[in-house]
Amino acid sequence: MAGSILKGIGVIKSVSPKVKSKGISKSKGNISKNVGQARKYQEEREVIMEENLKRAKEGKESIYGTVKETEKEIEKIKNENAEFRIVYKGEGPIGEKDIKAISVGENALVIGFNVKADANAVELAERRGITISYFDIIYKMTEWLAEEMEKRRPRMESIETTGRAKIIKAFSRTKERQIIGGKVVEGHLTIQGIVKIIRREFEIGRGKIVNLEKGKVKVSEVNEGEEFGMMVESKIEIVSGDVIESFAVIQK
């Protein structure tokens, strides 16, 4: 299971605009006028501050909305053999503490969405062999993660038979090599191929085709219906009536 760190958009900071205020004159004739102006400026200042707080709140909601949406996109990327698990998430630039949150050797991905990493974080990530990836478009991140999932997911191996041959005659034999003759009954056999040695429907060992001939001519492959002579490298003695099967290991 691959771990990943999700970093969101940096925190939006807002500062209230400065409002120039005129001092109240000590002159009696101007007290009423200045008090009125001061009240007006105070009301304007309160309106501005309220608007700034509203913007800050909307900005914060936008930040968390983006993190939440990004998290949902990551959770969608899975298959029957693997899925991503978010082990840490937050806002702001990627820092050293974010990288330290990952265990050494963990199969981790660090993602910065509309943020960058500071120098200390980059240096630590490089030492730990962790790649930091940056995105500003969600679907680009999703496509990249899907590719990473395909690269990292566990592989299921299956063995597929590619050819079968019945052994007609066994000739000379040394300690680990033997010359045999037979006929391909299904598929094909190729030189350097690994084969199963089957006797009475049970596998008794394996060997490697080191030489292959058809009509006393060296060939690289023999196909269904063709007779052949071959040298097999194996510690198992092959006898007349045995079957050899060539196969391929398929990763899915």
Looking at residue 90, its pLDDT comes to 80
Looking at residue 52, its pLDDT comes to 47
Looking at residue 40, its pLDDT comes to 58
Tokens of 107: 């199969």
Specify the residue for token string 């660090």.
110
* Interatomic CA distance for residues 74 and 62, integer angstroms: 18
Query: Alpha helices of the chain — where are they, by DSSP H?
Result: 31-76, 96-100, 119-127, 138-152
Q: How far is CA 91 from CA 9, 74, 95, in A?
A: 6, 17, 10
Q: What is the mean pLDDT of each run of 10 residues along the chain (252 residues)?
A: 40 30 39 53 56 48 59 78 79 85 72 87 87 86 86 80 94 90 94 93 93 92 94 93 91 72
Looking at residue 21, its pLDDT comes to 35
* Interatomic CA distance for residues 162 and 229, integer angstroms: 19
Q: How far is CA 112 from CA 5, 9, 115, in A?
A: 9, 8, 5
Looking at residue 14, its pLDDT comes to 24
Looking at residue 203, its pLDDT comes to 94
Looking at residue 54, its pLDDT comes to 55
Looking at residue 224, its pLDDT comes to 94
Looking at residue 11, its pLDDT comes to 27
Looking at residue 47, its pLDDT comes to 56
Q: β-strand 157-173 against 221-223: which pairing, if any?
A: unpaired
Looking at residue 28, its pLDDT comes to 44
Do 85 and 100 touch, CB atoms closer than 8 A?
Answer: no
Q: What angle do CA 94, 98, 101 make, to 5 degrees?
A: 165
CA 64 to chain centroid = 25
